[in-house]
């Protein structure tokens, strides 16, 4: 199993595209897996015949685990490979709907086959409360990891007069796209924020590109996609790129283009009418920028009180990577970029 998860080494096998005995070509889709953030295809790395499936649909395995054997027709696969879980497709779907891994269900059917009643019995053991979806469980795991990170938040109020004129002028462009560009430019000016904490060592991993994460809310999901170098694109093109990335995330099939590492993520709740909030860092990133709505607020301009389009930003930072002075300078660069 390749390491496809961004925040977890566990992957769940959704479906096998090939069956035992089928011919396999290099690069051909072999199976579908569900990571902590998306459903992805796994392509065959070698050509041959699929000799044995070690882990079947519905099972969760660690990256690096042997999930199947491919070899020459008639060749024997490793004898120690465990048998896959036997269950009808309808039973597998039922287990998937309730977030139950078939590997932990004791089958009552012939040869240990998992029956519908076995899955329902496990559901009833969970009580009358609502079962938590796999995506929500993955989110809870990430939040627990995030809670262990020493973090702090700095905030600033931004005059969005110039940015508002830009959004008004460019069709299809929103404040999200303007913010993505401002973050990328600030990352280039402050590379001390464009790096990641790595536990092994520990050490700091600098990132070569100014890619920016974008939080995307879906049905029962909260995913992060990576927008490649948003400051290198004209705003209309960036708007289309961000929309493609968000659509893939909501469909649960994020392509490799939008799965790269990013030090900072943008979480924008302005469309929900939120004035200000503090976001939680993704445990595999360095910071997250929380943006509220752009609204007219009273401000002193040239000695007089005026109504000004303003935005409140809150930057939450991993204190292991950066201190308050560095975070403040980075946030000030974002503010200055937005104010023109």
Give which of 249, 299, 292, 252 is closest to 273, Cα–Cα: 292
Neighbours of 209 (CB within 10 A): 16
At the top level of CATH, which class does the domain 138-339 belong to?
alpha beta
The reported pLDDT for the residue numbered 333 is: 98
The reported pLDDT for the residue numbered 286 is: 98
Helical residues (DSSP H) of the chain, grouped into ranges = 89-97, 116-125, 134-147, 161-169, 175-189, 235-251, 324-339
Of the CA atoms within 13 Å of residue 46, those in its CB half-sphere come to: 9
Please give the backbone phi and psi of residue 141, each rounded to the nearest 5 degrees, phi first.
Answer: -65, -45
Query: What whole-number distance in Å separates Cα of residue 234 and Cα of residue 2?
Result: 35
Neighbours of 62 (CB within 10 A): 12
Same fold, 10-134 and 138-339: no
Query: What whole-number distance in Å separates Cα of residue 118 and Cα of residue 102?
Result: 10
Return the ∠ at Cα 307 (arms to 289 and 235), rounded to 5°. 45
Please give the backbone phi and psi of residue 32, each rounded to the nearest 5 degrees, phi first.
Answer: -110, 135
The reported pLDDT for the residue numbered 126 is: 62
Query: What whole-number distance in Å separates Cα of residue 186 and Cα of residue 327?
Result: 11
The reported pLDDT for the residue numbered 73 is: 81
Please state, in angstroms and as integers, the Cα–Cα distance from residue 155 to each residue in 42, 143, 151, 207, 308, following that order: 42, 22, 14, 25, 18
The reported pLDDT for the residue numbered 27 is: 87
The reported pLDDT for the residue numbered 3 is: 75
Query: What whole-number distance in Å separates Cα of residue 238 and Cα of residue 184?
Result: 12
3-state SS, one letter per residue, for 16-69: ECCCCCCEECCCCEEEEEECCCCEEEEECCCCEEEEEECCCCCCEEECCCCCEE
The reported pLDDT for the residue numbered 121 is: 81
- Reading the chain (340 residues) residue by residue, the pLDDT tens digits are 887 765 556 788 889 999 989 999 988 899 988 876 677 888 888 899 999 898 888 888 887 788 998 988 877 665 444 447 788 878 887 887 777 777 777 787 776 788 888 888 877 766 445 666 667 777 787 888 899 999 999 999 999 999 999 999 999 999 999 999 999 999 999 999 999 999 989 999 999 999 999 999 877 678 899 999 999 999 999 999 999 999 998 887 888 899 999 999 999 999 999 999 999 999 999 999 999 999 999 999 889 999 999 999 999 999 999 999 999 999 999 999 999 8
Query: What whole-number distance in Å separates Cα of residue 116 and Cα of residue 94?
Result: 8
Structure tokens at 296: 């007219």
Residue pair 39/11 in contact (Cβ under 8 Å)? The answer is: no
β-pairing, 23-24 vs 48-53, is antiparallel
Give which of 278, 222, 270, 209 is closest to 250, Cα–Cα: 222
Q: Where are the domains of the chain?
A: 10-134, 138-339
β-pairing, 264-268 vs 221-227, is unpaired
Which letter does DSSP use for residue 45 in this model?
Answer: S
Query: What whole-number distance in Å separates Cα of residue 126 and Cα of residue 57?
Result: 22
10-134 has which CATH code? 2.40.50.100
Q: Is the pTM of this model over 0.85?
A: no
Structure tokens at 46: 């070698």
């Amino acid at each position: 199993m390749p390491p496809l998860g961004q925040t977890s080494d566990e992957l769940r096998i959704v479906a096998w595209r090939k069956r035992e005995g089928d011919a396999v070509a290099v690069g051909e889709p072999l199976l579908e897996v569900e990571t902590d953030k998306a459903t992805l295809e796994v392509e065959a790395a070698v050509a041959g015949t699929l000799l044995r499936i070690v882990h079947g649909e519905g099972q969760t395995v660690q990256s690096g685990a042997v999930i199947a054997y491919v070899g020459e027709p008639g060749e024997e696969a490793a004898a120690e490979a465990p048998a896959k879980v036997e269950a009808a497709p309808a039973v597998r779907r039922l287990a998937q709907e309730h977030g139950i891994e078939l590997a932990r269900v004791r089958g009552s059917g012939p040869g240990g086959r998992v029956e519908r009643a076995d899955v329902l019995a496990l559901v009833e053991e969970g009580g009358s409360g609502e079962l938590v979806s796999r995506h929500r469980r993955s989110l809870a795991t990430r939040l627990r990891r995030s809670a262990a990170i020493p973090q702090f938040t700095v905030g600033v109020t931004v005059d969005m007069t110039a940015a508002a004129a830009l959004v008004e002028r460019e069709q299809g462009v929103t404040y999200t796209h303007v913010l993505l560009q401002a973050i990328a430019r600030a990352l280039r000016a402050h590379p001390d924020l464009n790096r990641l904490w790595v536990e092994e060592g520990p050490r700091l991993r600098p990132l070569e590109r100014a890619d920016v994460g974008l939080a995307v809310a879906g049905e029962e999901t909260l995913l992060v996609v990576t927008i490649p170098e948003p400051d290198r694109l004209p705003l209309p093109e960036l708007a289309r790129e961000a929309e493609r990335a968000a659509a893939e995330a909501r469909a649960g099939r994020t392509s490799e283009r939008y799965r790269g590492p990013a030090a900072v993520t943008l979480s924008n709740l302005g469309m929900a009418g939120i004035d200000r909030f503090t976001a939680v860092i993704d445990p595999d990133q360095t910071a997250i920028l929380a943006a509220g709505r752009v609204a007219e607020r009273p401000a002193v301009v040239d000695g007089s009180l005026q109504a000004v389009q303003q935005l409140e930003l809150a930057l939450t930072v991993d204190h292991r990577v950066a201190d308050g002075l560095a975070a403040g300078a980075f946030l000030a660069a974002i503010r200055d970029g937005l104010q023109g």
